[in-house]
Amino acid sequence: MNNLYIRIVLSASVSVFAAAINFILNVYIARIFKEEVFASYSFYISLATIISVIVSLGINQYLLLNIPKINKEAISEISKKAYTSVSLFFLPVIFITIVYLYFRGENIAAILSFIFISYIASILLLKQSIYTALKKIIVYQMCDKVLRNSFILIMLFFLSNELTTFYELIMVVAGGYFLSFFVMQFNLNKSERYDLSSDFFKFIDIKNLTPLYFVFLTTTLMSNVDILILDSITTENNVAVFSASQKIALLSGFFLNAIANILVPYFVKESKNKQEIGLKAKMSSQFGFASISVFFVAMCFLGEWVLSIFGEGYKTGYFIMLCLIINIMLSALYGQTLTLMKVKNEGKYLAKLMIFSIVVKFIIVYPLFLYFGVFGVVISSSICTLIWNHFSYLKLKNKYSINTLVFQR
């Protein structure tokens, strides 16, 4: 258990460091470019994230849950098979996206850069699962998030006088993704490198992954679709302000994510030990909720000042930011429900919950937007979060006697 605490602290420290660099990068982009450029940057990063999950086919979840159970010699072959499958499915998905971007009015340079970013993001998603399963998530965080965002930030600093348009910015971002991929490709063990093979996952191989695929897709949509929705129904200024508020709010959940990344392999290993899982689930819930609560209190006093770092016009996002943090706190209140539902092979039930939740969100988001403005989008997310978390909690408690809540009797 002591070793577990050490790994959580180390992972959380790296996550905080990576989050700090990413935050500084977003602030720098917001300050040296106009609000419409920052809005476009946020839109494209969210879209690339969603595409990377769509083309994953749930294979990343398969790697996460199965690599801890197989020997190291088999990791290389299963990784090649995963990379090949994702690469093949990427082609039709990106073709549809290209058509959409073309009619949206983007230039060729921006479209090509976006294609590259989306593909690398898809491969890195698989790598993240491999590294998490191998209990090397800290290495992944350093090679990907820290290195990539540091490179982009440095390039923007030296080229700030020459960069004026969005397509120039997106090309620099693409360079950061390439560097991250390059380092992981040529500076790590063979079993962790990117390589393609003649074999790939067939439908019969991945049909059992469908529930986990939809779970991961819907959770990604919940985190990223708000930017896409706002981009289509409101002004670029509102999109930029919401994005800045969201970037700050997401800082509150990095400790909780770090805990989840470390605990997944342990949950898989101890899947039949209710007492051990219950103890670790309770510990992670309390640590995660406490960290978010402290962050929320700090932002109540410092929120406007932190937003002003993006620019004076971003201070209007203060209450949006607080509501977004409350939404993350709501999820933290229920603890590791998502992780434990997957570990307990409740993927089908969880998928139904997540799909129902996201459908409810899409139904209510526009009416709430018309009545409450941007706050309506945040409210729709909170309702969505409450639905799947509460029913997952009930399933774990009633069927497996695992109580994930922070406040337990």
Tokens, residue 182: 């390059």
Question: What was the pLDDT predicted at 345?
Answer: 80
Residue 15 pLDDT level (bands cut at 50, 70, 90): confident
Question: What was the pLDDT predicted at 272?
Answer: 55
Tokens, residue 336: 């590791």
What residues contact residue 226 under an 8 Å CB cut-off, 6+ apart?
242, 246, 377, 378, 381
189-207 pLDDT, tens per residue? 655 678 888 888 777 777 7
pTM for this one? 0.85
Average pLDDT over residues 104-130: 90
DSSP 268: H
Q: In whole angstroms, give the CA distance from residue 181 to residue 357.
A: 34
Instruction: Say what angle helices 374-400 and 347-372 make with each other, to 10 degrees.
Output: 160
Q: Which of 111-115, 260-264, 331-335 has the highest mean predicted lDDT (pLDDT)? A: 111-115
What residues contact residue 350 under an 8 Å CB cut-off, 6+ apart?
211, 215, 338, 341, 342, 388, 392
